[in-house]
Amino acid sequence: MDIQQSGRDLAAETGLADLLAGPVVPAARGLLGCTLTANDVTVRITETEAYAGTAGDPASHAYRGRTARNAVMFGPSGHAYVYFTYGMHWCMNVVTGPDGEASAVLLRAGEVVDGLDVARERRPAVRRDVDLARGPARLCAALGIDRAAYGVDLLGDGPVPADAVAAGPRVGVTGAHDVPWRFWIDGDPTVSAYRRHVPRSR
């Protein structure tokens, strides 16, 4: 597994490291437009979701405290929290906030900006390039990310302007599903489709 920042160490130059060390909602907005490089593919992040950990956010994996699965969320910011879901998909979060206080940003979607042929090989059934990393599991599949990325230090450059950012409810969670902590680059075709949570009838 080779996860690295693209180009120079722009985190220190742009203040991204400081952004990730702060509250999770500004971090989720600030990660839009950043690039993530892994396994010969680079993705520009176009959609994120914020999860506030134990701080009153029942949708967070850390809501009930520290476990072996979520331990990295309680560590330093800027590291990867990777988990397996639905018995088939990997998803990646970027840890935020002070060391010891769990919170993280789910990377929901991105645009493949380098390594397009490699991403296509990993997702051969996809017809349109905009769908290669459109959704958190697809993003990880395009990047070839799995459990080996857990805890790795991650990200690169380029937050987008504030007026290009849209916000709305989170996707696919049963708790606090109407909290508007999903952020995306407005109008970007790689952003995933929103599906409102519908409680299952008994």
Domain ranges of the chain: 3-165+173-185
Top-confidence residue, 34 or 93: 93
Top-confidence residue, 88 or 160: 88
Q: What are the pLDDT digits (tens) for 54-111?
A: 778 888 888 888 898 889 999 889 899 999 988 889 999 999 999 888 999 999 999 9
From the list 103, 84, 82, the residue with the least C-alpha distance to 92 is 82
What predicted TM-score, i.e. pTM, was given to this entire model?
A: 0.73
Please give the backbone phi and psi of residue 152, each rounded to the nearest 5 degrees, phi first: -70, 145
> How do strand 165-168 and strand 104-114 relate by DSSP bridges?
unpaired
pLDDT for 161: 65
- Centre a 10 Å sphere on the Cβ of residue 148 and count the other Cβ atoms it contains: 16
pLDDT for 2: 28
Confidence of residue 189 (pLDDT cuts 50, 70, 90): confident
- Alpha-carbon 200 to chain mean position: 27
Fold of 3-165+173-185: 3-methyladenine DNA Glycosylase; Chain A (3.10.300)
| Cα distance between residue 190 and residue 202, in whole Å | 35
Which two tokens mark 147?
A: 């459990």
Place of tokens 């909290």: 179
Q: What are the pLDDT digits (tens) for 101-137?
A: 899 999 999 999 999 999 999 999 999 999 999 999 9
